[in-house]
Amino acid sequence: MQTIAHWLDGKPFAGSSTATAPVTNPATGVVTGQVALASAADVRTVIEAAAAAFPAWRDASLAKRTQVLFRFRELLNERKEELAAIITSEHGKVLSDALGEVTRGLEIVEFACGIPHLLKGGYTENASTKVDIFSVRQALGPVAIISPFNFPAMVPMWFFPLAIAAGNTVVLKPSEKDPSASLWMAELWQEAGLPDGVFNVVQGDKVAVDELLENPAIKAVSFVGSTPIAKYVYERGTASGKRVQALGGAKNHMVVLPDADLDLAADAAVNAGFGSAGERCMAISALVAVGSIADDLVARIDQRAKTIRTGDGTRGTDMGPLVTEAHRDKVASYIAAGESAGATIVLDGRAVAPDGEADGFWLGPTILDHVTTDMSVYTDEIFGPVLSVVRVDSYDEALALINSNPYGNGTALFTNDGGAARRFHNEVEVGMVGINVPIPVPMAYYSFGGWKNSLFGDSHAHGTDGVHFFTRTKAVTTRWLDPSHGGLNLGFPQNH
């Protein structure tokens, strides 16, 4: 059985710890490997390598850094199917979904290839007599990325392309549930020509996380995960003097107004509720039906959801298993709790007949109707293929429902009324809003992040927020009394 190691200075690193955790194929229930769990000393060794590599990488020209970025982009695009297969084997999402994850991550790599334009400073001539002022953006140093299990490739790529392009070095701590994608990307960076020590991987659990949060050599931490852990990461990291962007959990609502195209809305609810088995921070988990359309809308969603083929993601199915047996059982317990609290089970995923091995972690699409706001199936982030239908009488009631929720990650409104749409995106207290778009994940040149308990810190991921997070501004005031002379050189100027 393979041991999944760390990555240090351009090669695998076993570390000194003998602790490991099993890595399982969710579609079969078979343990496929053991991932190393770093000791604090192992983490320090990796951080020291990142710190040692920083000065040279920081001082490398923008031309050289972007050349590596472009090469990484080309290699990733050529071999993205390999990475998708690794994701499916350890996370369970179907191959097409895994490939979509890689493609969305690739967008951030492409955005980072334009880093020279984004790092430009400003210049003021004669701010005072013969005094000029200019500003520059400079790298921070070694930075840490702590990523979740649900997007083992895309979420790290929200951060490390910009961090590296800006001149920082990186220590990535992936989820121990699906760690192999991180090593594949590390090998790709090496092939792209990234110097040793600029991109490192440390596998581990809370021990590794705490060392990254407290070690003074780490200057910034990017985290994505559940809200309680995001709050912990933010508070512990900032207490150690670091910049921290910590993206937390979600309870995303999709509001359907009476004038909406119900077929479009039903398709969107199924796609956004059950894609990747609901294991997305942008998944729609609460459908808010306004007025008299609820019965018709629920019937259309039920009709579509029953056609979803649940099974092994390598077999051409629509929806794969959940990531672990424990998580599958936890999600199933929410279905039972909802039923006990009075919700109506329209479609019960616990009875699914999957196309896969009997020991896979299966749970099919589930629809609960007549859900009320005091039920755990509504209040908690379930992170599974469970769609809760809440019925309200008016737009104002739907808006109040969303704005009173402690989460503010993503939301969507389905309507053909432009006035209602404009009012909604103006009034709703959520960071990412879709109008007739169920999963409003912004493009790479915008920034990703929610409001309220869905984000701790001031910076969102990627876009200009990401560039600013991984750099700091320096203002320089200069006075030169005498001109200098550089001599003659008639050759065409080149970047080096």
Q: Across the chain, how many H-helices and E-strands are there?
A: 16, 23
**Nearest C-alpha neighbor of 258 from the set 424, 401, 395:** 395
- The length of the chain is 496
- Which among 367, 61, 45, 447 has a CA at the least distance from the CA of 215? 45
CA distance 226 to 223: 10
Residue 443 Cα distances to 87, 201, 225, 447, 475, angstroms:
22, 26, 20, 8, 31
* 3-class state of residue 365 by DSSP: coil
Residue type, 403: N
Burial (0-12, 13-18, 19+ Cβ within 10 Å), 447: buried
Both tokens of residue 272?
A: 């956004």
Q: Among 259, 250, 347, which Cα is nearest to 308's?
A: 347
* DSSP calls for 5-63: -EEETTEEE--S---EEEEEETTTTEEEEEEE---HHHHHHHHHHHHHHHHHHHHS-HH
Q: Known catalytic residue: 281?
A: yes
Q: Which one of 109, 281, 430, 439 is the catalytic residue?
A: 281
φ and ψ at residue 266, rounded to 5 degrees: -65, -45
Edge-to-edge strand order for the sheet containing 20-25?
2-4, 30-36, 20-25
Q: Rounded to an integer, what distance in angstroms lies between the CA atom of residue 302 and that of residue 319?
A: 16
What are the tokens at 384?
Answer: 């599974």
Torsion on CA atoms 79, 84, 85, 88, rounded to nearest 10: 170
Show which residues are catalytic: 281
